[in-house]
């Protein structure tokens, strides 16, 4: 600072001189103003990128990247305040990224909402979403409108921020019109209240995400936006890609050169079929249909032309053959005359033999065709029973597998595995009916007699269904989402509540009786009706609203009284069992008791917030005990509270670490069940003492309730599943089938059926009288963690597994894989650091364990996992440090004779280390990739090294670090590369959704799969050979692991209990088992089809009766 010139303002008494120097100061501040502004803006972005673990969605793209590349070139030699190394690193990394032609979100907004739009853009980027935001994406001097149109064309989702200014903006209206012309998926966010009639029709039909909910908590509402954007991502992304191709085709005068061919056409064909069959949104545009049809016509025309060409060639060959035969006939004319008799005898003999051979072949062909027909019939029958009777389906698949002993029908192995894991491994009930709305379902209940199901949805309707899942009628009339729908005690009347500020009364046939209007808007226009219930005698209706009140109505819908006194949203209102008292719960942190005339009896106050840093302690629910003497309230302060009816606090139920969403008493009132955002439910006695924690869900538990007989508990969760538990906290069954969060559930009055409602737009009916098969009967297991699992590997003899998770702890299983007990290694990690365990591997001699984690440490443990031997930092840049063994799998165990390991890091290098006792000694370093090195392995002959990198390449090196071969062909990061067991071929897995097989010279042999429609839909994280080298196993972000033969034919698809991205998949040393690790914390052991069939020979599961055998045309011998 001493060396800098400065202006001294301390010596002036003359105001004129003061002003002159002040002007000088202002002039100095404006010098190089643009440079320093760019310097700051880029530095902020680069720091954010680094703090977010180098989040690629924050990197520069397009115009921004070109601008700053030029900025860096011009200014890098500046003597004063030059660009920092971080500037250089950020721009370099941005330049090296593999860019996609499409982005995820286009943000449309009014300039008046710029601050909110900028916050939203930054939050989306941090979440990993690529965005088009005009403040970052339009170069100066360009055609503004054309850039906007190009941005809309290239984005999967059109996100519109609703506010008074945006709905009246002609520019925003133009953007909406253009997005609508392209059938873009619209996502709307309500930022400020707007009259519904002002919305563009394309926006009016979309249910907005109200960012004023949760008291305007940005990130609480942002999570709903992310869930919406992640819904059906593959369909929406392919819609954009196909739109880009069709627009390019149209702009180039519909030239044949730009039509779809080969794999591209097959993928598009599958997309169109699924879009039509499943009524996908957004639907194809007319231009996309025309483009696809033109491509199909061109392919058919090409086939016809090729057929014609082949016919011409065949005709020419026939002419030449005739000429040759004529010459031959002339030459042999005399010879035939001399040998006529001999030839006649030979011909007769040959004819007889030929006839016999033909008869044998035709008989074999007929038998084979009959066998294939039987197999296909059994497959069809197995599919029919798969959901409702999975064990029966498994037996049918077993019979088909035995009959198809030459494996002519590939679907047999697939179905055998699906049926096996459905019926046995998953220990699940299967739904017997599926009911669908056009948007997320908000409630579902049975009628009092259990014969009808009533559902409510964000699609603005309620519906009545029979127990077969057939729709009876639709209750249409609300102008916004329907929040709840319930029956009166006699089942003759229905009341629905809505975001449109009303409740409506209907008869049981679905005819509107009356609309209950009267809730007033007092908070930013918010006054949706949250719930409605009937009094026990059915004569009175009670509603709760965002307008801070509850209201009483008679059964004709006439207002009786308004219960005023709360200072915030009333989230629920219920009658006491005798109907004489009313209980309301509010976000103002209180519950209140009222008499039937609306007079306040007492207030249940939360004196303070327990275990939370802020004062957001609003209540989430309040209910009476069955006898009406007690009350249980739940709160955002992570507690539930037990009260006497007079408002006296009995006990605070502590133990949850997240909001408590709901609480209910058992039928006889002796137990309480609570559900929490901490992914657990807790069972308490009637005095508030904890009995058991029900842990098993991987995301928030939204609701928990008792069965009518009080012997079972049902929980529903954001992890897309529901679970049934016994009172000891054991899972009885998993209810698998929903694709998004399960929000509520209800038992039928007799307790034999259950319905679940989900954000996936469906309600499912389950028959819970069947007995799920106990998974202890099988020889494998599933392990569940509360955090994503990065890798899982087998011990060298296959009797142990080692698991690496992001919950900062590695785990080791006990000796028997049928035992679910895991050992947690004593991981010592500073709680402030990111210590997620990236990989874990057994050492070569099997006596030690090696782990790597995000804190940069490589740790060596003893084989029992109870003692840390050493912890060292092996790389300068320790992000994403990984360990690999010579078996070649991305997250694989070491082979028995391997004495070396590799490590790779974000520093773009791989290193080879010698493992000797308790020391790791660096042997060599491999530099040359331009991106993070994802894997490194040693060849079977120990003479070459193979690496895979984020730069889109795999490379083959000699031991001296010299590159031998580059494997070029992937269009995105190469996540793994491994040798075949004989070392003659290489398999690579890539973020471009493909797997490729290569020879050692870098020549591509094949891209998997043979049939493009069976390929992975998202990034392929790993691919490995089986120990015998005859099959390939892949793991993908599309929530599957898949087994392939070497010709690219799909043998088996593995989709887990609660599907999530599969981070790794490996074989057991003997090749009979497969181990998968998923991002939802699940580690599963799978049996290959031949192992399943072997197990079925002695398994004591469903046995066919004589009637079954006759029905399916089977015999006992078909199973043994």
Q: Are 51 and 42 in contact (CB under 8 A)?
A: no
User: The domain 782-1096 belongs to what CATH superfamily?
Assistant: YVTN repeat-like/Quinoprotein amine dehydrogenase (2.130.10.10)
Q: Are 920 and 860 in contact (CB under 8 A)?
A: yes
Q: What distance in Å separates the CA atoms of residue 1026 and residue 1044, rounded to the nearest whole number?
A: 10
Question: How many helices and strands, by DSSP H and E, does the chain display?
Answer: 21, 66
Backbone angles phi, psi at 111, to 5 degrees: -60, -25
Q: What distance in Å separates the CA atoms of residue 785 and residue 781, rounded to the nearest whole number?
A: 13
DSSP run (H or E) holding 663: strand 660-665
Q: What distance in Å separates the CA atoms of residue 590 and residue 26, rounded to the nearest whole number?
A: 56
Residue 542 pLDDT > 50:
yes
Q: Is the peptide bond before 760 cis (omega within 30 degrees of 0)?
A: no
DSSP lists the bridge partners of residue 610 as none
Q: What distance in Å separates the CA atoms of residue 468 and residue 765, rounded to the nearest whole number?
A: 9
Residue 184 pLDDT > 90:
yes
Q: Is the peptide bond before 1009 cis (omega within 30 degrees of 0)?
A: yes
pLDDT recorded at residue 1074: 84
Residue 114 pLDDT > 70:
yes
In this structure, which topology does domain 101-231 adopt according to CATH? Rossmann fold (3.40.50)
Residue 763 pLDDT > 60:
yes
Average pLDDT of the chain to the nearest whole number: 79
Mean pLDDT over 186-191 rounds to 94
pLDDT recorded at residue 990: 93
pLDDT recorded at residue 538: 93
Which pLDDT band, with edges at 50, 70 and 90, does 4 fall under? low
Largest CA distance in the chain: 140
pLDDT recorded at residue 1003: 94
DSSP lists the bridge partners of residue 961 as none
What are the residue boundaries of the structural domains of the chain, listed by start?
1-31, 37-99, 101-231, 233-338, 782-1096
Which of these ranges, 174-183, 456-465, 536-545, 1039-1048, has the smallest mean pLDDT? 1039-1048
The residue among 962 and 771 whose pLDDT is bigger is 962
The closest of 549, 532, 553 to 586, measured between CA atoms, is 549
pLDDT recorded at residue 858: 66
Q: Do domains 101-231 and 782-1096 have the same CATH topology?
A: no
The closest of 665, 719, 722, 725 to 694, measured between CA atoms, is 725
pLDDT recorded at residue 888: 33
- Predicted confidence (pLDDT) per residue in 716-749, tens digit: 998 888 899 999 988 887 787 677 789 999 999 9
**In Å, what is the CA distance from 192 to each residue of 129, 162, 226, 644?**
24, 7, 20, 42
pLDDT recorded at residue 789: 57
pLDDT recorded at residue 780: 37
Residue 235 pLDDT > 70:
yes
Backbone angles phi, psi at 861, to 5 degrees: -120, 160
The closest of 772, 1069, 727 to 894, measured between CA atoms, is 1069
Mean pLDDT over 763-773 rounds to 70
Give DSSP secondary structure letters for 145-202.
HHHHHHHHHTEEEEEEEE-HHHHT-HHHHHHHHHHHHTTPEEEEEE-S---GGGS-HH
- Predicted confidence (pLDDT) per residue in 400-442, tens digit: 888 877 666 666 776 777 777 666 544 455 556 778 898 889 9
- What percentage of residues in the chain have a pLDDT greater than 90? 30
Mean pLDDT over 1065-1088 rounds to 79
The residue among 1120 and 456 whose pLDDT is bigger is 456
pLDDT recorded at residue 98: 60
Which pLDDT band, with edges at 50, 70 and 90, does 812 fall under? very low
Range picked from 809-823, 910-924, 1041-1055, 1099-1113 for highest mean pLDDT: 1041-1055
Q: What distance in Å separates the CA atoms of residue 524 and residue 192, rounded to the nearest whole number?
A: 8
Pairing state of beta strands 690-695 and 680-685?
antiparallel
Mean pLDDT over 289-318 rounds to 79
Give DSSP secondary structure letters for 607-656.
-S--S-SSS---EEEEEE-TTSSEEEEEETTS-EEEEETTS-EEEEE---
- Predicted confidence (pLDDT) per residue in 951-1008, tens digit: 899 999 888 888 999 999 998 899 999 999 999 999 999 988 899 999 999 999 999 8
Residue in the structure block whose two tokens are 């004589």: 1106
Q: What is the dihedral of CA 758, 760, 765, 766, to 10 degrees?
A: -80
Q: What distance in Å separates the CA atoms of residue 378 and residue 396, rounded to the nearest whole number?
A: 6
The closest of 423, 1058, 450 to 754, measured between CA atoms, is 450
pLDDT recorded at residue 920: 55
Q: DSSP label at 646? A: T
The residue among 676 and 1078 whose pLDDT is bigger is 676
pLDDT recorded at residue 610: 52
Mean pLDDT over 569-578 rounds to 93
The closest of 219, 216, 215, 298 to 255, measured between CA atoms, is 298
Mean pLDDT over 597-616 rounds to 71
Which of these ranges, 41-55, 771-785, 983-997, has the smallest mean pLDDT? 771-785
Q: What distance in Å separates the CA atoms of residue 803 and residue 824, rounded to the nearest whole number?
A: 10
**In Å, what is the CA distance from 525 to each residue of 167, 360, 963?**
17, 84, 67
Backbone angles phi, psi at 300, to 5 degrees: -65, -40
The closest of 680, 712, 684 to 696, measured between CA atoms, is 680
- Predicted confidence (pLDDT) per residue in 238-268, tens digit: 899 899 889 989 988 888 888 888 767 878 8
Residue 893 pLDDT > 50:
no
pLDDT recorded at residue 883: 45
- Predicted confidence (pLDDT) per residue in 216-226, tens digit: 888 878 888 98
pLDDT recorded at residue 590: 92
Which pLDDT band, with edges at 50, 70 and 90, does 715 fall under? very high
Question: Per the structure block, which two tokens stand in for 811?
Answer: 């785990």
Residue 853 pLDDT > 80:
no
The closest of 212, 127, 99, 197 to 161, measured between CA atoms, is 212
Beta strands in 193-232 (DSSP E): 209-210
């Amino acid at each position: 600072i001493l060396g800098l010139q400065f202006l001294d303002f301390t010596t002036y008494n003359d105001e004129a001189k003061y002003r002159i120097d002040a002007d000088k100061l202002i002039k100095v501040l404006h010098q190089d103003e643009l440079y320093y502004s760019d310097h700051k803006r880029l530095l902020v972005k680069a720091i954010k990128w680094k703090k977010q673990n180098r989040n690629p969605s924050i990197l520069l793209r397009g115009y921004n990247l070109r601008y700053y590349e030029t900025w860096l070139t011009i200014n890098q030699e500046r003597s004063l305040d030059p660009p920092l190394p971080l500037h250089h690193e950020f721009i370099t990394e941005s330049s090296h990224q593999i860019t996609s032609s499409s982005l995820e979100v286009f943000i449309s907004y009014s300039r008046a909402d710029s601050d909110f739009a900028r916050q939203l853009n930054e939050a989306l980027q941090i979440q990993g979403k690529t965005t088009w935001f005009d403040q970052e994406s339009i170069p100066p001097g360009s055609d503004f409108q054309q850039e906007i149109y190009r941005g809309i064309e290239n984005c999967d989702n059109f996100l519109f921020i609703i506010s008074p200014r945006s709905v009246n903006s002609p520019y925003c209206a133009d953007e909406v019109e253009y997005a609508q012309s392209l059938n873009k998926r619209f996502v709307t966010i309500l930022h400020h209240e707007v009259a519904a009639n002002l919305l563009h029709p394309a926006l009016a039909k979309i249910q907005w995400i109200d960012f004023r909910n949760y008291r305007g908590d940005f990130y609480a509402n942002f999570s709903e936006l992310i869930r919406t954007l992640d819904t059906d991502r593959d369909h929406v992304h392919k819609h954009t890609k196909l739109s880009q191709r069709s627009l390019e085709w149209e702009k180039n005068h519909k030239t044949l050169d730009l039509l779809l061919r080969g794999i591209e056409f097959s993928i598009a064909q599958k997309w169109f079929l699924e879009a039509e069959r499943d009524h996908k949104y957004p639907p194809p545009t007319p231009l996309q249909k025309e483009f696809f049809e033109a491509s199909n016509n061109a392919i058919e025309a090409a086939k016809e032309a090729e057929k014609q060409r082949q016919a011409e060639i065949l005709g020419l060959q026939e002419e030449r053959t005739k000429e040759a035969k004529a010459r031959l006939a002339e030459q042999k004319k005399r010879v035939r005359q001399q040998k006529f008799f001999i030839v006649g005898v030979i011909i007769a003999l040959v004819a007889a033999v030929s006839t016999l051979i033909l008869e044998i072949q035709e008989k074999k062909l007929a038998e084979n065709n009959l066998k294939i027909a039987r197999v296909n019939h059994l497959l069809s029958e197995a599919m029919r029973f798969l959901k409702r009777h999975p064990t029966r389906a498994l037996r049918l698949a077993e019979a088909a597998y035995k009959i198809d002993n030459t494996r002519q029908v590939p679907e047999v192995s697939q179905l055998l595995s699906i049926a096996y894991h459905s019926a046995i491994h998953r220990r699940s009930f299967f739904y017997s009916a599926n009911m669908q709305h056009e948007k997320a379902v908000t409630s579902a209940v049975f009628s009092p007699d259990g014969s009808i199901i009533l559902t409510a949805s964000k699609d603005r309707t309620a519906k009545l269904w029979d127990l077969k899942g057939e729709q009876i009628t639709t209750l249409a009339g609300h102008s916004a989402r329907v929040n709840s729908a319930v029956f009166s005690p006699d089942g003759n009347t229905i009341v629905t509540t809505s975001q449109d500020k009303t409740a409506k009364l209907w008869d049981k046939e679905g005819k509107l009786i009356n609309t209950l209007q009267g809730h007033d808007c007092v908070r930013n226009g918010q006054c949706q009706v949250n719930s409605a219930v009937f009094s026990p005698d059915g004569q009175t209706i009670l509603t709760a609203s965002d307008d801070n009140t509850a209201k009483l109505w008679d059964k004709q819908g006439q207002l009786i009284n308004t219960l005023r006194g709360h200072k915030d949203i009333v989230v629920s209102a219920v009658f006491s069992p005798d109907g004489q008292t009313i209980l309301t719960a509010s976000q103002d942190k209180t519950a209140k008791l009222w008499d039937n005339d609306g007079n306040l009896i007492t207030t249940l106050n939360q004196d303070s917030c327990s275990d939370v840093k802020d004062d957001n302690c609003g209540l989430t629910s309040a209910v009476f005990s069955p006898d009406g003497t007690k009350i249980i309230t739940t709160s955002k302060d992570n507690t539930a509270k037990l009260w006497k009816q007079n408002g006296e606090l009995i006990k605070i139920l502590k133990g949850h670490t997240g909001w408590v969403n709901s609480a209910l008493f058992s039928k006889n009132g002796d137990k309480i069940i609570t559900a929490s955002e901490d992914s657990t439910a807790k069972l308490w006695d009637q005095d508030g003492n904890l009995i058991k924690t029900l842990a098993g869900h991987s995301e928030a538990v939204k609701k928990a309730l008792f069965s009518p007989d009080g012997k079972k508990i049902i929980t529903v969760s954001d992890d897309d599943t529901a679970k049934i538990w016994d009172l000891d906290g054991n899972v009885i069954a998993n209810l698998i089938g929903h694709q998004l969060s399960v929000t509520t559930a209800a038992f039928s009055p007799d307790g034999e059926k259950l319905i679940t409602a989900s954000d996936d737009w469906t309600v499912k009916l389950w028959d819970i009288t069947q007995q799920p098969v106990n998974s202890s009967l099988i020889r494998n297991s599933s392990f569940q963690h509360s955090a994503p699992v990065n890798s899982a590997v087998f011990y060298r003899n296959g009797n142990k597994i080692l698991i690496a998770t992001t919950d900062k702890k590695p785990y080791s299983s006990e000796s028997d894989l049928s035992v679910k007990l895991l050992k947690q290694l004593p991981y010592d990690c500073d709680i402030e650091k990111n210590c997620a365990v990236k990989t874990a591997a057994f050492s070569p001699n099997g006596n030690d364990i090696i782990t790597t984690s995000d804190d940069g440490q490589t740790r060596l443990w003893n084989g029992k996992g109870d003692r840390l031997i050493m912890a060292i930092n092996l790389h300068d840049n320790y992000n994403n440090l990984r360990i690999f063994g010579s078996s070649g799998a991305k997250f694989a165990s070491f082979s028995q004779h391997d004495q070396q390991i590799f490590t790779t890091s974000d520093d773009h290098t791989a290193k080879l280390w010698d493992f000797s006792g308790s020391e790791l000694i660096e042997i060599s370093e491999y530099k040359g990739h331009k991106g993070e090195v994802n894997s490194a392995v040693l060849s079977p002959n120990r003479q070459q090294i193979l690496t895979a990198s984020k730069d889109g390449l795999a490379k083959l090196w000699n031991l001296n670090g010299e590159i031998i071969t580059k494997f070029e062909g992937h269009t995105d990061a190469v996540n793994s590369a491994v040798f075949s067991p004989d070392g003659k071929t290489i398999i690579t897995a890539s973020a471009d959704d493909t797997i490729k097989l290569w020879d050692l010279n870098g020549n591509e042999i094949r891209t998997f799969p043979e049939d493009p429609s069976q390929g992975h839909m998202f990034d392929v994280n790993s691919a490995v050979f089986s120990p015998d080298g005859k099959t390939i196993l892949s793991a993908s972000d599309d929530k599957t692991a898949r087994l392939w033969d070497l010709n690219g034919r799909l043998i088996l698809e593995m989709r887990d209990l609660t599907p999530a991205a599969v981070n790794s998949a490996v074989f057991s040393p003997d090749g009979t088992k497969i181990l998968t690790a998923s991002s939802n914390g699940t580690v599963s052991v799978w049996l290959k089809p031949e192992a399943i069939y072997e197990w079925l020979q002695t398994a004591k599961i469903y046995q066919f009766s004589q009637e079954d055998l006759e029905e399916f045309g089977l015999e006992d011998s078909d199973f043994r």
